[in-house]
Structure 1
């Protein structure tokens, strides 16, 4: 009895016990459906969200002060050299020189604990103050829902105008009241609201973008009476393939502006901005772990159920095993027959589970937003690999038991 005959015999056994095979296969199918379905849904939703926000941060890099937290870092008891923060003059000089190669914004997050007033109403002292230019909202991927962006003259002369977040509007205005061209007060000056940003939300308890007030950069510079504001630069490129080259060029430009000597290390930092895709991939990774864990638990129950069915099958076919052994079948061939039968059942259930999983996963993903049909080839191969593994593990003990049966006692079994 060779391997091919074992495969044929396993298929005949599956066919002759069709109802039992279907019920057992459904146990496996449910586990694979949960595994493939969740992983497909996660990948589908991630792809749709990335497509919706394509380009936000994907082509950006930041130029910022080195050791910007102000702390002196020590290594082996030796204090490392600290550098002065990027000044307003240096930031604007970089913007003027580099703007021919890409879109550049200069901004300053100069306060995270400001109180905004409008008449008798005021916000909590947790509003975030930002000085920015006309490119700030475009590069940071922030949409202005109402009103408009800063004009060139407002940026140039530093007019008392501002763009505010949704929480600022909710705190200072009645529901349905139009905030555009209304006045608010902070730092002892009155500002006119010219725009309201789209609601962003915040994953942290700190000041999120909805609590931000953005004013013209020149206006913010005038508030910097002690010269303590820190300025940062973000550049956006049209071709992400040239990112490393452009970062190298920007390093040369900034070293010239900062007058860093040849051989000295950079007195600033240039880092690639974290893209939305990287953030999503990090979150999706945790979701995949959770989905895989749930699917594994379901498959563990399915494997135990399959092992129980195979044990019953061995008991029912004890006489048949005795006949095969009497005709010369070795213990190896007997083990192969039952292992192949278990694997066939798992593969049939796995095929059904993959089809259901792809369908359910795509339906769930498309509930987030319209998108294409995703076929997760990686998870399909993983699912079939798991099916073979489950078949081997759950079929091994019953197959081993069958191979150890005594042929004389088996032939006498009723």
Structure 2
């Protein structure tokens, strides 16, 4: 109980001292707050970006992988990951894989028809930037796409190449502005007319790529009406549970090596990309940003520690007579030292709290820009509190010891 009263008294004396030297205190608190804001703010922003990448690049789910003719290439600044390019995946190879892959999973085949199509309905039309993709009946499931209206393609419609279309949400809103039901309506895509059988739920964009500004046609329709030399197909596989991923990838690799006639000991002539691989690659490239942000924050905090030590040394000098009076009436060295340490801690924690709040706000401003969720980085919040406490102890210990060593007789004569 006595110790608790002593702590309260030290805090009260610290706050009175802070009010009496508010100009220096404000400057010191501002420096500390800026350092913590830089540290917490940038790291919060990085957490928001990582959440955004994980959420958007794992659009197909953590239980999906894709077989492609090239590996992923990511470029950030002057750093890039090299992409391996192999021979194209033909329609015959893709269909052979789909028929021979016996693992308990869902496999789909798709082909990009064009990325510059214009879709028209009566007097309404889209800009010439709509992606046309040929898909089979399993594609929506493997791509993580859901229908808002209508239905999926039937296998017979995929085989026949029927003139049917599933519209992305943005395309549907552009063509049907008065909440008209698009299902059953006829739209033109390029030179052909297509009956709308479904509209996808809004998906949102992922670093500029969006499934909303797209339309999906039966696979064989795209093969016939958007044909071009060397059409390259993609194969997507969705397992029932993420724990089955490695086993499914292993079997898919064996099956497709046989189809591609890869010889024993020869490297794969194709790439298998998991749905979250790009996110992990980009998150890995943010390591330097995290390191830079940490260094900026620590350098600023080092300057704040020097400023805090300076204000405490000045405070000791200005309050020499007060220290002498306290010692004359029985205050011990430990009491005087703790008083000045408490003052340093209070100043640092005020700056730390302001810096943490400002940093969370700054970081979540980036989160809003990227379309991520609101993030409170509890690790960095607690880390900021601990860092400011350490800064207070390191910068306050020298002034506190100086105050504790003041001679009471000399200090009473100090003017």
- The change in CA–CA distance for 1:360 and 1:211 in structure 2 (over 3 A counts) is closer
- The change in CA–CA distance for 1:380 and 1:90 in structure 2 (over 3 A counts) is same
Corresponding position of 2:126:
123
In structure 2, runs of 5+ residues without a counterpart are 74-82, 369-374
TM-superposition CA deviations, 1:230-287 (whole Å, max 9, x none):
1001111233234333222211110011111112221111122227975996899999
> Could you tell me how far 1:355 is from its partner in structure 2?
11
Out of 105, 111, 115, the residue aligned to residue 114 of structure 2 is: 111
8 Å Cα contact 1:61/1:272 also seen in 2: yes
Is residue 66 of structure 1 aligned with residue 67 of structure 2? no
Is residue 271 of structure 1 aligned with residue 273 of structure 2? yes
Corresponding position of 1:319:
321
Q: TM-score, normalised by structure 1?
A: 0.69
> Could you tell me how far 1:175 is from its partner in structure 2?
2.8
Corresponding position of 1:341:
342
The two structures, once aligned, show a CA RMSD in angstroms of 5.5
Corresponding position of 1:202:
205
- The change in CA–CA distance for 1:239 and 1:349 in structure 2 (over 3 A counts) is same
Corresponding position of 1:178:
181
After TM superposition, the structure 1 = structure 2 runs for residues 40-55 of structure 1, keeping only pairs within 5 Å, are: none
Corresponding position of 1:137:
140
| Distance across 1 between alignment mates of 2:104 and 2:200 | 28
| Distance across 2 between alignment mates of 1:44 and 1:86 | 36
Out of 164, 167, 178, the residue aligned to residue 164 of structure 1 is: 167
After TM superposition, the structure 1 = structure 2 runs for residues 74-93 of structure 1, keeping only pairs within 5 Å, are: 83-93=86-96
Aligned to 1:210, the other structure's residue is in SS state coil
Out of 10, 32, 35, the residue aligned to residue 14 of structure 1 is: 10
| Distance across 2 between alignment mates of 1:138 and 1:313 | 69
In structure 1, runs of 5+ residues without a counterpart are 1-6, 70-79, 368-373
After TM superposition, the structure 1 = structure 2 runs for residues 200-279 of structure 1, keeping only pairs within 5 Å, are: 200-202=203-205, 208-223=210-225, 225-274=227-276
| Distance across 2 between alignment mates of 1:45 and 1:188 | 41
TM-superposition CA deviations, 1:51-79 (whole Å, max 9, x none):
9999842121110113799xxxxxxxxxx
Q: TM-score, normalised by structure 2?
A: 0.69
Which range moved further: 154-163 or 45-54? Answer: 45-54
Which range moved further: 118-127 or 94-103? Answer: 118-127
Aligned length: 386
